[in-house]
Amino acid sequence: MNFNRLSKLAVFSTAALVLTAPAWADNSSVSHSCSKPYLPFQFESQKEADEFNDAVLIYKDCIAEFIDEQKAAVERHQQAAGDAAHQWNTFVNYELKSQQPETD
């Protein structure tokens, strides 16, 4: 296998790793465990309205925390995919290249 073929293989493999990473990174679906507050047809008192408003804020905070956790997981997965691609490129460009006889 000559170096030109190895270079093409490195580019193709890197693209394949990065483009397919979302598909195989985590095939299980994740769902939040936040509880949506019940909105009554009519509030019977100010206390009931205040409790509902508090529950809305708790629900909002729960959803926001879930979203932040998922974004952090995406960043970790993207970093892992990028690291793997870098390791592959280093292997191809330095280790395999050094094993190839030089041609003129």
Residue 44 predicted with pLDDT over 70: yes
Distance CA 88, CA 14 (A): 7
The DSSP H or E segment spanning 74 is helix 46-90
pTM of the model: 0.60
What is the pLDDT at residue 43? Answer: 96
Looking at the chain, the whole-number percentage of residues with pLDDT higher than 70 is 69
Compute the C-alpha angle 23/25/27, nearest 5°: 70
The residue to which tokens 């995919």 are assigned: 81
Is the Cβ–Cβ distance between 18 and 82 less than 8 Å? yes
What is the pLDDT at residue 97? Answer: 81
Distance CA 27, CA 13 (A): 21
